[in-house]
Structure 1
Amino acid sequence: MPIFPTAPAQIHPFFGYRSETRLMLRARALRSRRNEHNTGGRWQAIRTLMLHYASHEVKGLDVRMDLESPDGEVVSHRAVTDKEGYVVFDIGLPGEWPLADRPRWEVVELHWENDEGAQCVPAHVLAPGAETHLGVISDIDDTIIETGITGSPRALLRNWRRLLAQHPEERIAVPHADTFYGALGGARFDPEEASHLGESLPATQRPFFFVSSSPWNLFSYLVAFKKAKGLPLGPMVLRDWGLNRETFGSSSHGGHKVDAIKQIVGFYPDMRFALVGDDTQGDVTAFGEVAEAMRGRIAAIFIRKAAADPLSPEEVAAKASIEALGIPMWLGPSYDAGKQFLRATGLVGDKDAKDIVDTVEEAQ
């Protein structure tokens, strides 16, 4: 039952992304108080997370997105929230909307009205650089954040206890993930040196996107976790699930990932992508399906082996298919050991592979 059924409607934007011709942004309208993941006691951690679930979706809310064109003109688009409170702006950009040389976060504004009058909230949109040729698409659970999920009810319950009782900064990151992701992402641009409002978020040399079967309710939790652990920020494609086993289990996990990855890869026809995942929730087979369907677009595949069990017959077949396509694939228990794979991988045909290896080895 919603805790704030009569609270004023609020818009909660998720990270968007754009190209020179198209922009994608999702947000959600909820009757809830704004609750960020701040430090505090166990009760505060439980209260904050539960408030993200115990909320009342606002259907049929008119939302206006304002964005500034390269010539300084404000362009507006309108959309209406669906029955679950979600609103999606998937728009073509009129005229010329060139990208900067390097990736940066841009800002658009979302406007709506509630019982308290006209409202506005900024939303961040990732714009990969015009010179960007390689992006990274990553899983989340057991790829960057330890969950210990193996599909058993006990493992699922243990992870929900962690979510309820631990602040994001208290969660355990996968060992060496910060170093490995930092190497994949390349240079991180300091927002303190930027004048553009959107660059209050740090951008990396190579853009990151995240796909997961985790629910959209955990968006701010995951953002706080990545900030606390020094991991790169990027748009996330999550799912609309409640408190049930499918939220963190393997059911329908692969299908959602395949569709999400295809959408991102298709959004940027001039870029190739490295895929990063683990072997606990069908990433091997999902990545194999993507590689087969998007031939020539996948530069490399990284799989962290988190489970003790050997690969299933389906995973063995997917691995063979990936290798037959000539896509370099690393499968190992620790990102620390991945430096040998990185040494042998020419990700974009220039010095990127050497730079990545040097970065990883210098951090050891």
Structure 2
Amino acid sequence: MKKVRITGVAWTALVTVALLASMASQAASMPVENGTEPKGDASTMTTADNAVDTANAVPPKGKRYTSDRPRQIVAYTGYGNGEYLWVRGRVLANKTIRAASDDDSWWDNIRASFQRWETDEIEGVWVELSYGDERKFVQTDDEGYYSAQFAVVDAEQSQQNVTARVETRKGDIEAVHEVLVADPAARFMIISDMDDTVIHTGITRKLLAARLTFFGNARTRKPLDGVADLYRELVDGSDGTARNPVFYVSNSGWNMYDVLDEFLELNKIPPGPLLLRDLGNVGKRSTKNHKAQTFRRLLERFPTLPAVLIGDSGQHDAALYAELAREFPDRVLGIYIRDVDPFEDSDYDAAVDAIINDGTASGVPMVRGENSDAFAQHMRSIGLLSPSEERQIAKGVEREQAEDTFWE
């Protein structure tokens, strides 16, 4: 029989197809109720709403796991408003995925992607959460998630910790939630998308998006020009006397948390909670609901802070942000939409421009720009940035454009 030789390119295609099929199968197998998301906080809650604040619940003594033994607690970064703080995490039987290395090959990245998406969640695990002198026990839902709320002990401390612990047959496992508490003197908050707003994803080009997602890692992914400078200056504010909180709201699944969190750190982009999506809620409606519900929850939890909204033209950010501005005109300072295809006029541009021109945003300024410098110029004009901060951002954009090879 004649042997068939499969080239490296063919293997790459086969693996990509297999991974995409696995993701689709995993997402399709998760429960969806009429295509909508569960009621509640899209940023901190799952379908197991009773996992929150079960402080008086007592876990059964002597509980041990003989199968699906917990191997890790994924402790997502939490946030607080000075009165309360919120944390969310997940308990998995998978081994921890190691941090990306400069020496990682495409095959190393493929294996990490497979491990990242083929999660082995553990349902019904009791998690002990400790914050200061307070302890709470919460139980994971059917996808391994848990979440909880605590009263803040010290509102002046910007970074606080909540320790998560799970008792296992072979000993305890622990993880620490870093919690970012908003500065009491903050003037506004930044709510930003991630894909093609902060990080190059190529979401409008499906094959490119798949290649970047599965064959790359946090070290190979590239930020948009000037993003680090823009977000640093916004967090510092025009007078530099207080830190404004930043929240990264994305339709990416929680499976991508480690990549995005490491990416922000490597590229010196200001840290902030990553509020990602439970892929059990699929479809355009749930995609829109996730961002809208998260936005509303942040407004509710930070009632004194107006918001600066940053997104891109490749998805539905402009329409969603305009709708939210119409609903909360006094809470939105400005809307900034990054052009995903800056070298051509496209239907994406036309859709955003139509929203800008028809006044859908109810008087809230909306800007479509090709880079961070375009945003900074407008932000300076409405007092969000100082002239010196705008110049710093312009220099950053110029420097990074000279180095950028993404579009070549």
Counterpart position of 2:311:
277
- Compared CA separation, residues 259 and 321, structure 1 to 2 (3 A): farther
8 Å Cα contact 1:7/1:32 also seen in 2: no
Letter in 1 for 2:119: S
Distance, in Å, in 1 between the alignment partners of 2:285 and 2:223 is: 24
Q: Which has the higher contact order (CA 8 A, sep 6+)?
A: 2
Pairing 1:181–2:231 present: yes
Q: Secondary structure at the match of 1:55?
A: coil
8 Å Cα contact 1:144/1:177 also seen in 2: yes
- Compared CA separation, residues 250 and 232, structure 1 to 2 (3 A): farther
Counterpart position of 1:27:
89
Counterpart position of 1:156:
206
**1:122 deviation in Å?**
1.0
Distance, in Å, in 2 between the alignment partners of 1:310 and 1:52 is: 31
**1:362 deviation in Å?**
5.5
Distance, in Å, in 2 between the alignment partners of 1:62 and 1:285 is: 41
Q: Secondary structure at the match of 1:33?
A: coil
Counterpart position of 1:301:
335
| RMSD value, Cα | 2.5
Q: Secondary structure at the match of 1:57?
A: coil
Counterpart position of 1:226:
264
8 Å Cα contact 2:261/2:274 also seen in 1: no
Q: Secondary structure at the match of 2:214?
A: helix
Q: Secondary structure at the match of 1:213?
A: strand
Pairing 1:357–2:395 present: no
Q: Find 1:335's aligned residue among 372, 377, 384.
A: 372
Moved more, 48-57 or 313-322: 313-322
**1:230 deviation in Å?**
1.8
**1:228 deviation in Å?**
1.7
Q: 1:219-265 CA distances to partner (integer Å, 9 max, x unpaired)?
A: 000011111222111111111227x9x6xx96643222111111112
1:76-225 equivalences under 5 Å are: 76-91=135-150, 93=151, 97-100=153-156, 104-150=158-204, 155-186=205-236, 205-225=243-263
- Compared CA separation, residues 23 and 355, structure 1 to 2 (3 A): farther
Distance, in Å, in 1 between the alignment partners of 2:175 and 2:382 is: 42
- Compared CA separation, residues 80 and 318, structure 1 to 2 (3 A): farther
Counterpart position of 2:128:
64
Distance, in Å, in 2 between the alignment partners of 1:207 and 1:130 is: 10
Q: 1:122-175 CA distances to partner (integer Å, 9 max, x unpaired)?
A: 11111011111211110000001112222xxxx323312222211211112212
**1:314 deviation in Å?**
8.1
Q: 1:72-93 CA distances to partner (integer Å, 9 max, x unpaired)?
A: xx111221100011101134x1
Distance, in Å, in 2 between the alignment partners of 1:64 and 1:316 is: 51
Letter in 1 for 2:229: T
**1:345 deviation in Å?**
1.4
Counterpart position of 2:320:
286
**Percent identity among equivalent residues?**
26
Structure holding more strand per residue: 1
Letter in 1 for 2:323: E
Letter in 1 for 2:106: R
Q: TM-score by structure 2 length?
A: 0.72
- Compared CA separation, residues 359 and 175, structure 1 to 2 (3 A): closer
Q: TM-score by structure 1 length?
A: 0.81
8 Å Cα contact 2:83/2:155 also seen in 1: no
**1:355 deviation in Å?**
5.5
Number of positions where the alignment pairs a residue of Structure 1 with one of Structure 2:
322
* Gapped regions of structure 1 (runs ≥ 5): 69-73, 188-203
Distance, in Å, in 2 between the alignment partners of 1:283 and 1:207 is: 20
Counterpart position of 2:54:
none
* Gapped regions of structure 2 (runs ≥ 5): 1-21, 23-66, 399-408
Counterpart position of 1:316:
354
**1:113 deviation in Å?**
1.0
Q: 1:191-212 CA distances to partner (integer Å, 9 max, x unpaired)?
A: xxxxxxxxxxxxx922110111
Counterpart position of 1:75:
134
Moved more, 305-314 or 10-19: 305-314
8 Å Cα contact 1:104/1:129 also seen in 2: yes
8 Å Cα contact 2:70/2:122 also seen in 1: no
- Compared CA separation, residues 7 and 45, structure 1 to 2 (3 A): farther
Q: Secondary structure at the match of 1:25?
A: strand
Q: Find 2:301's aligned residue among 262, 267, 284.
A: 267
